[in-house]
Structure 1
Amino acid sequence: MSGLCGWMGYGAGGAGKEVVDAMAAPLARFDQSAAYSEAATRSAAAVVAQAGSAHLHRDGSLLVAVWGSPVLRDAALAQQAASQGLAAALGNAWRQMGAERLSAALHGAFAICVLDEASGEAMLATDRLGTHPLYWQLAGESLLFASSADALARHPQAGNELDAQGLYNYVYFHMVPSPGTAYRQQQRLLPGEFLHYRQGRIETRPYWRMQFQEEGKRSFAELREEFLSLLRSSVREAAGGHKVGAFLSGGTDSSTIAGILCDVGGAPAQTYSIGFEAQGYDEMEYARIASRHFGTAHHEYYVTPDDVVSAIPQIAQVFDQPFGNASAVPAFYCARMARADGITRMFGGDGGDELFGGNERYAKQHVFALYERVPELLRKALLEPAVFNFPGGERVRLLRKARSYIEQASVAMPARLETYNLLGRYGPQQVFTDEFLAGADIGQPLASLSRTYGQSEAKSLINRMLALDLKITLADNDLPKVMKACELAGMEVAFPFLNDEMVAFSAGLTPQQKLNGTQLRWFFKEALRGFLPDAIITKQKHGFGLPFGVWLQQHKPLQQLASDSLTDLKKRKIVRGEFIEQLVGQHLSEHAGYHGTMVWVLMMLEQWFRQRPALRV
């Protein structure tokens, strides 16, 4: 995977180096990256990464480790890094700047630790979009940390007691959202957050938060010119001297990255696509359209049900938290194909939707929000009584749709985003055992969404949703999916849209330039009109979706793997056995695509347990 790990305030004596090297081992499981480590008296750090992404410095009792290649915009600091080395320069800056200012001085994708035994202080920080994760735990007065929960668990003081709330949240969200984890003792830094440790005490604070400038007055022509320039510089910077390739799904984001890579590279970009032999899931033709348009050197692979069976245990092993996004499977095969071609870094198009307004729910919520503009007296005294009390209204299609609209529009944001949540539809009490639910708060997922949603100071609905999705959809879901899939394939990955300057640029667009009525990512598409093929601009969003539910109806080995997994999951007393039987015996035959998602989520939970046999609920 690459990453860093270590501790502060733990006296391991002469075994310090041995312990930190043991923690670092899981970080190199799949890509065999080099590991570098140092141990002082009561602190130690290790960083595991490919050349150029690992930085470690020790100056007496001061240890600095950096994973990634952070960009230094401060000229003096950049000059010091060029002459002294990045980690040494940041160690000097730590003494002058402190934790918050030092974190804010770093740009790009990174994780950093500074361990200062002389002052008894330490800092941890992850990048602004949370690309490089950092887990931490306070054990007595010792701060333990790692880029992976599996690495953190190898410290002698770390516990591995599972957290019922984290597992509940996994089934709700299909991932474990930060700052929570699957472990009771562990937490995870939020995007753009730093941790300051001093003499056994912890404080976490944001050093960066998305600030939207909603009153933009710049002309379209000026914005378009800057946008295209930023695209080129972001792709050029992300390449970093590597032999690069790009995921190409045929959507606007991946097609844009592929086209710009051809433009700045001066040669056909190496692009990689995944297809499926399943009606309604295969989008290879759009990837081919983009490839022909830009003249990329295109590579294709059709994932089969047998591939899925083979990949499932591997996916469960590489993810250090339960993870239920099935798109990790095609992403893995795509990255593996590129790795076989000698590609060392893949470009993902992730982030475009969350920066420029590309998710379908943004348009849908805009329509629901229109109901809030109707005067309350008119709604309560006239509209709602007429719609809900009309005799025989349940038999009139138009009235049924009106009732559904009003019911959803009446739910406050952000809970309205979860009205179709699978767990909510089944009902937690029908899914989980009473014993398990005794240790979880079923209201916590929506409460955490509300907290994150409420932290944004944006005035517009679209920007508040974008701020929420930067955390929930991007940092907690899509980025780990691609990062871990690439780790399993032994591949580095970069996300050009997440360049800090690009993120700041998107924050300066007006709400209408992101969502124009119900037109998604209006500015993005208009700025790229003539660059992207028209068929790509007008296509419906899809991506590397996996036809798991469809294949589960037909493919015996897949059926057997799912059945065995769910049978074993019953024994863990988390999910009710009768729910699993109903899910597989009735729900799946009624709607394979819809209910297949829950089969996948529960199957991957059991597969995650199997890869960690020492864990107990």
Structure 2
Amino acid sequence: MGGICGWIGFAGAPELLDTMAAPLSRFDRSPVQARRGQRSGVAVAAQAGSADVFQRDGLLVALWGQPRLDDPALAAQAAAQGVAATVAGLWPQGAQRTCAQVHGCFTLAIIDERSGEALLATDRMGVQPLTWQLAGETLVFGSSADCLLRHPLTPGVLDHQGLYNYVYFHMVPSPGTVYQGQQRLLPGHFLHYRQGRVEEQAYWRMQFEEDGKRSFGELKEEFLSVLRHSVKEAAGERKVGAFLSGGTDSSTIAGMLTQVGGVAADTYSIGFQAQGYDEMDYARLASRHFGTRHHEYYVTPEDVANAIPQVAAVFDQPFGNASAVPAFYCARMAQADGVTRMFGGDGGDELFGGNERYAKQHVFELYERVPRLVRKALLEPAVFNFPGGERVRLLRKARSYIEQASVGMPARLETYNLLGRYGAQQVFTDDFLAAADIGNPIATLERNYGRSEARSLINRMLALDLQVTLADNDLPKVMKACELAGVEVAFPFLNDKVVAFSAGLTPQQKLNGTQLRWFFKEALRGFLPDAIITKQKHGFGLPFGVWLQEHAQLQQLAADSLSDLKARKVVRGEFIEQLVGTHLKEHAGYHGTMVWVLMMLEQWFRAHRNV
């Protein structure tokens, strides 16, 4: 997939840039462009058309990805001189105005040795992450933390808080990382370095227009237009394919790709021989409906066991989303067909209101509208003090509803958190917890939740999910799976114009009562098959817990991994024994998730032996 890395404020050896850049091209062998200054350097690893570098008179500008300048005059200049050279001309206007002019998926680095300044920025949706660390007066940065580990000033020391947050969220949420001192830029943010000091600011925020008055017909026409444009723009001149799970998002992208290309699109699906996990029938339905060239692969338990060490190694942070495995096999199938760029449907849920928890939290919010006096003086005493209420099913459900509704947002989103159910003190060793704050995950969610200026609950949840669910989880899952397979990936829903369009929809057009993504589905009636519009949400979920009960190779891999993890004194040995010996047998699907999360932690440790 490539990436960017470099530093300012350090007179490194000439070969240091190559050393830092090596992790960026280890899978697809992307060519590396390196530029050095007196006390700085930048390297960009990318396939043709995904990198641009400009250097002149102490000024160095490097771009990775698919940056775009929408201003007509700037776009014309970029076409003639290159995007990096054009951005160099914007730099005197300041960091904020420079970043605001750049659109698309990109990572930007500007190093100005004349003034001792540097600018780092990532795109609005955080598709392309960027990690940085200030070591004394030296700023070191890279698309992967693995780059920073190769710089002599930032060798990497594990952070207990990052490890704790991983087990809590099954990934390490930004801006934190698993290394002390390292930070990741938030989506739509830039970092301004000035002579040894740094300042991070947002150059873009999601601005929701919650009082829209436009007609459905007008909105539908614009929506289909911007989506077609986004798919066409992302396809370019490459041979592209599309992930197809059979859900509304992937089916929409597959259909649009066939429509704008004028020929049958190549679509790729993964199936599982496990009851309740296989959604191949819906993928086939979408393929027949749009006339795509469909390709299928059924992942086996052996495939999972073989992929686990590779998947753990490709991530620079511990990562516990098991769907990365089927995404890898799907992308690998496409790469074998000569596809160079895959389209993912990620972002549709977070832009248009598609996650089931949005409807659930709407129901809980209704309780908050009941006058406090009525709740505290009448409802709650009646429900909680009713004699024998624990034996009455309706009262038990009422108690559960009130208990959850009484938890404030966004903490209420984590009432079913696995680590919360087990208890941190039962999972982690005392020595490990002494260097971690168990309240940090909720505090992090609260800070992110509080950044949004949206008035409605649905838009506040969408703003939170754009970072925590999308940028920190779903996008890295697909990006890294494709990197491991050796193909690029694009996300048409995350085109700036599609994002802007979604922000203009009213809250009711996203969540109509408890109807998820109401506008999205209604606008696509007649385009998508009705069966896909009404289907339950699923995706490429992995039946790991089920397979773990019966497959010897997976059992051995999990047992070996958890046994070695005990020796690291992070997780209590007795918890691991209870998890595998008791919990897993009680509910394989539920507790299998924690087995996966801990197994992948150990596998990540093994792949990063120098940490």
Shared fold (TM-score, shorter chain, > 0.5): yes
Q: Which residue of 2 aligns with 1:5?
A: 5
What value does the CA root-mean-square deviation take over the aligned residues? 0.6
Provide the rounded CA distance (Å) in 2 between the counterparts of 1:90 and 1:378.
59
Which of 502, 506, 512 in structure 2 is aligned with 1:506? 502
Q: CA-to-partner distance for each residue in 1:134-153, whole Å, 9 max, x for gaps?
A: 00000110000000000111
Which of 21, 25, 49 in structure 1 is aligned with 2:22? 25
Q: Which residue of 1 aligns with 2:209?
A: 213
The 8 Å contact of residues 301 and 334 in structure 1, kept in 2 or not, is answered as yes
Q: Compute the TM-score of the two structures, normalised by the length of structure 2.
A: 1.00
Q: Secondary structure at the match of 2:409?
A: coil
The one-letter amino acid paired with 2:82 is G
Q: Which residue of 2 aligns with 1:183?
A: 179
The 8 Å contact of residues 56 and 66 in structure 1, kept in 2 or not, is answered as yes
Q: Does 1:91 align with 2:91?
A: no
Q: CA-to-partner distance for each residue in 1:344-388, whole Å, 9 max, x for gaps?
A: 000000000000000000000000110011111111111111111
* 1:276-295 matches, cutoff 5 A: 276-295=272-291
Provide the rounded CA distance (Å) in 1 between the counterparts of 2:57 and 2:114.
9
Q: Secondary structure at the match of 2:15?
A: helix
Q: Secondary structure at the match of 2:245?
A: coil
Provide the rounded CA distance (Å) in 1 between the counterparts of 2:121 and 2:360.
36
Shift of 1:612: 1.1
The 8 Å contact of residues 65 and 112 in structure 1, kept in 2 or not, is answered as yes
Provide the rounded CA distance (Å) in 1 between the counterparts of 2:141 and 2:474.
23
Q: Secondary structure at the match of 1:69?
A: strand
Q: Which residue of 2 aligns with 1:151?
A: 147
Q: CA-to-partner distance for each residue in 1:499-536, whole Å, 9 max, x for gaps?
A: 00100100000000000000000000000001000000
Shift of 1:86: 1.6
Q: Which residue of 2 aligns with 1:480?
A: 476
Q: CA-to-partner distance for each residue in 1:6-59, whole Å, 9 max, x for gaps?
A: 0011112xx2x3101110010001011111101110110000011000111111
Which of 413, 417, 420 in structure 1 is aligned with 2:416? 420
Q: Which residue of 1 aligns with 2:465?
A: 469
Q: Does 1:455 align with 2:451?
A: yes
Q: Secondary structure at the match of 1:384?
A: helix
* 1:436-451 matches, cutoff 5 A: 436-451=432-447
Q: Which residue of 1 aligns with 2:99?
A: 103
Provide the rounded CA distance (Å) in 2 between the counterparts of 1:160 and 1:197.
21
Q: Which residue of 2 aligns with 1:72?
A: 69
The 8 Å contact of residues 5 and 21 in structure 2, kept in 1 or not, is answered as yes
Higher mean C-alpha deviation, range 125-134 or range 61-70:
61-70
Q: Does 1:225 align with 2:225?
A: no
Q: Does 1:359 align with 2:344?
A: no
Q: Which residue of 1 aligns with 2:168?
A: 172
Q: Which residue of 1 aligns with 2:243?
A: 247
The one-letter amino acid paired with 1:423 is L
The one-letter amino acid paired with 2:430 is D
The one-letter amino acid paired with 1:8 is I
Shift of 1:160: 1.0
Shift of 1:76: 2.0
The one-letter amino acid paired with 1:36 is Q
Q: Does 1:52 align with 2:32?
A: no
The one-letter amino acid paired with 1:3 is G
Q: Which residue of 1 aligns with 2:593?
A: 597
Q: Does 1:606 align with 2:602?
A: yes
Q: Does 1:343 align with 2:332?
A: no
Which of 40, 43, 47 in structure 1 is aligned with 2:40? 43
Q: Secondary structure at the match of 1:26?
A: helix
Structure 1 portions without partners, runs of 5+: none
The one-letter amino acid paired with 1:28 is S
Structure 2 portions without partners, runs of 5+: none
* 1:290-369 matches, cutoff 5 A: 290-369=286-365
Provide the rounded CA distance (Å) in 1 between the counterparts of 2:573 and 2:101.
52
Percentage of identical aligned residues: 77
The one-letter amino acid paired with 1:87 is A
The 8 Å contact of residues 4 and 142 in structure 2, kept in 1 or not, is answered as yes
Shift of 1:91: 1.3
Shift of 1:99: 1.1
Higher mean C-alpha deviation, range 188-197 or range 80-89:
80-89
The one-letter amino acid paired with 1:25 is A
The 8 Å contact of residues 462 and 515 in structure 1, kept in 2 or not, is answered as yes
* 1:484-499 matches, cutoff 5 A: 484-499=480-495
Provide the rounded CA distance (Å) in 2 between the counterparts of 1:98 and 1:241.
34
Q: Which residue of 2 aligns with 1:394?
A: 390
Shift of 1:82: 1.4
Provide the rounded CA distance (Å) in 1 between the counterparts of 2:57 and 2:36.
10
The 8 Å contact of residues 326 and 542 in structure 2, kept in 1 or not, is answered as yes
Provide the rounded CA distance (Å) in 1 between the counterparts of 2:399 and 2:224.
45
The one-letter amino acid paired with 1:564 is D
Q: Secondary structure at the match of 2:520?
A: helix
Provide the rounded CA distance (Å) in 2 between the counterparts of 1:288 and 1:425.
38
Q: Which residue of 2 aligns with 1:125?
A: 121
Shift of 1:60: 2.7
The 8 Å contact of residues 271 and 298 in structure 2, kept in 1 or not, is answered as yes
The one-letter amino acid paired with 1:449 is L
Q: Which residue of 2 aligns with 1:264?
A: 260
The one-letter amino acid paired with 1:359 is N
Q: CA-to-partner distance for each residue in 1:573-595, whole Å, 9 max, x for gaps?
A: 00000000000000000000000
Provide the rounded CA distance (Å) in 1 between the counterparts of 2:236 and 2:560.
45
Which of 54, 78, 82 in structure 2 is aligned with 1:81? 78
The one-letter amino acid paired with 1:358 is G
Q: Which residue of 2 aligns with 1:135?
A: 131
Provide the rounded CA distance (Å) in 1 between the counterparts of 2:411 and 2:565.
29
The 8 Å contact of residues 159 and 185 in structure 1, kept in 2 or not, is answered as no
The 8 Å contact of residues 324 and 600 in structure 1, kept in 2 or not, is answered as yes
The 8 Å contact of residues 148 and 155 in structure 2, kept in 1 or not, is answered as no
Moved over 6 A (4+): none
The 8 Å contact of residues 243 and 342 in structure 2, kept in 1 or not, is answered as yes
Provide the rounded CA distance (Å) in 1 between the counterparts of 2:428 and 2:101.
46
